[in-house]
Structure 1
Amino acid sequence: MSGWEAAKARMYDVFGHVPRPERVAGCPHCVEPGEERCLLSWPVASVEAGSLARYAAKALTTWGGVLEFRYFLPRLLECATADAFSYPDPEIVLGKLASADWRAWPEEERDAVTDFLCEWWDQTLRHHPARSPIDTVLCALAATGMDLTSCLDAWSGLDTDASIRHLHDFVMTGWSGRRLTNAFWNRDSPAHEQALTWLTGGPAAAAVEAAFARESREDLLELLTAIHTVITPRSPG
């Protein structure tokens, strides 16, 4: 079993103790009576992504509370990280973890969620193209309120073709005018500051220079040069 599959299985196991709700109450103006039946008629792992998407968009705001959210969480995260929802975006779904104050949950639950999210990041770095763009994944992780240090440190290795290509994508599409362009970034959050500092404060440039020194393939050298040009300010004069 891969690390990704093991982390997913652990999450289902850890949250398996959360009781199945009898119903999921919602705002009467937003949710039809009995609309939750399609969510509660199956084991949580078997709920169809298309049925779950509407709940994913409304969870914790106009449909259900934290208990129901914890019951559906393994399937919500599985679908969001697989880009199985046309809407809501992964950044919205993962942002609900912060709304649910997940870092105050029992340690076993926090660890299971953290392991799963870190495996999602590692899985993304290892494959290019990935199911979700790298700026979507990083912004979604930031939306949970988690510390991005380990994620950015892992990216700094630039030890695979995929990680280099992801960084090129990131600076070309997720970065403009010295700012992160994904509209879901909370620009007042510590995670936003972490990402910005990593990209502009020297660590990313040092990683690119180290990768350039050991790389010999022309296509990757071109990508590294393009990245360095974008993230390294020109000297005046």
Structure 2
Amino acid sequence: MSGPQRQLHTALDALDDAFASEAPFTVTGCAYCYGEQDLAALSGPLNGISDDLLAAVAAETPDHWDDFPRLYRRLAPLVVRSVVTGTLHVDEDLIASRLVRAGWTTWDAPLAEALRDVWQTWWQSTLHTHPTPVRIRKTLGLLTVANASLRPWLSTWTATRTPAADAHLADLLDDVLCEFEITDLTMGFYGEYDAGAELLDWLLTDVHDRVDDARLADPYLLDHHRAAIGRPHQRLP
């Protein structure tokens, strides 16, 4: 296990410790979708919640619960660990949107700080490991939407010149350049973050020396970039 991977596991354990103070409470909600047994499990110890029930609740619309923010806050350690390890089997874009709706940045400081530490160590571990349980686009999208910012994650990527980081870069290009999706790229299940122009500018400037993809030199893409940023584009060598 690499150093960044060990740091991620340490951060996930610290997240569990930080949220240990979140006591069980009586969960109430849609009795049509969730039976008494499900609601009882959600109201009890976290280790009594099955993987299937966790996935269902993690993806569920907030209006199914009488106190969605409290429920999602209590389940956050389970949800986040499962997402990071690729075992939740719920769209990562949806998890990002649910965390935003739950208002995770407004939680008590020890909880929010523990979660921020997981975001940072997950990103570092990702950039030092290839392949990873979660596709790079999904990881970047979750981090961007949950934190309402793309640039910090791109800046870290620029500064991380590892074989894994470059392999992820190639994977991202294969994903977002298909039919030039990057020209209209949003992140988040509901398209909360308009990422196309910012991401394309980064690819054509900050990491252009690490990119070997002829599609980035396509005149259509370069014209789109010039129009989006309002200045002449930088051509790839």
1:118 alignment partner in structure 2? 120
**Structure 2 unaligned regions, length at least 5:** 224-237
2:56 alignment partner in structure 1? 54
- Whichever structure has more helix as a proportion of its residues is 2
1:73 alignment partner in structure 2? 76
Judged with a 3 Å threshold, the aligned counterparts in structure 2 of structure 1 residues 69 and 127 are, in CA distance, closer, same or farther, namely same
Q: Is the 8 A contact 2:127 2:168 kept in 1?
A: yes
Name the CA distance, whole Å, in 2 between partners of 1:186 and 1:30.
Answer: 23
The CA deviation at 1:45 is: 5.3
2:36 to 25, 33, 36: 33
1:221 alignment partner in structure 2? none
The CA deviation at 1:74 is: 0.5
Judged with a 3 Å threshold, the aligned counterparts in structure 2 of structure 1 residues 138 and 114 are, in CA distance, closer, same or farther, namely same
1:225 alignment partner in structure 2? 212
Name the CA distance, whole Å, in 2 between partners of 1:180 and 1:133.
Answer: 20
2:21 alignment partner in structure 1? 17
The CA deviation at 1:61 is: 3.0
2:99 alignment partner in structure 1? 97
2:137 alignment partner in structure 1? 135
Q: Which letter does structure 1 place at the counterpart of 2:155? A: D
Q: Is the 8 A contact 2:8 2:122 kept in 1?
A: yes
Judged with a 3 Å threshold, the aligned counterparts in structure 2 of structure 1 residues 200 and 181 are, in CA distance, closer, same or farther, namely closer
1:206 alignment partner in structure 2? 205
Deviations 1:79-105 (A, max 9, x none): 12212123x212212321110112222
What TM-score, normalized by structure 1, do the two folds share?
0.78
Judged with a 3 Å threshold, the aligned counterparts in structure 2 of structure 1 residues 51 and 98 are, in CA distance, closer, same or farther, namely same
Name the CA distance, whole Å, in 1 between partners of 2:189 and 2:92.
Answer: 12
Q: Is the 8 A contact 2:41 2:48 kept in 1?
A: no
Q: Is the 8 A contact 1:83 1:90 kept in 2?
A: no
Judged with a 3 Å threshold, the aligned counterparts in structure 2 of structure 1 residues 110 and 232 are, in CA distance, closer, same or farther, namely farther
Q: Which letter does structure 1 place at the counterpart of 2:105? A: R
Name the CA distance, whole Å, in 1 between partners of 2:209 and 2:192.
Answer: 31
How many positions carry a matched residue from both structures? 214
Alignment RMSD, CA only?
Answer: 2.6
Secondary structure at 1:4 match in 2 = helix
Deviations 1:50-77 (A, max 9, x none): 3311121226331352112111111111
Q: Which letter does structure 2 place at the counterpart of 1:200? A: L
Q: Which letter does structure 1 place at the counterpart of 2:101? A: S
What TM-score, normalized by structure 2, do the two folds share?
0.78
Name the CA distance, whole Å, in 2 between partners of 1:174 and 1:61.
Answer: 33
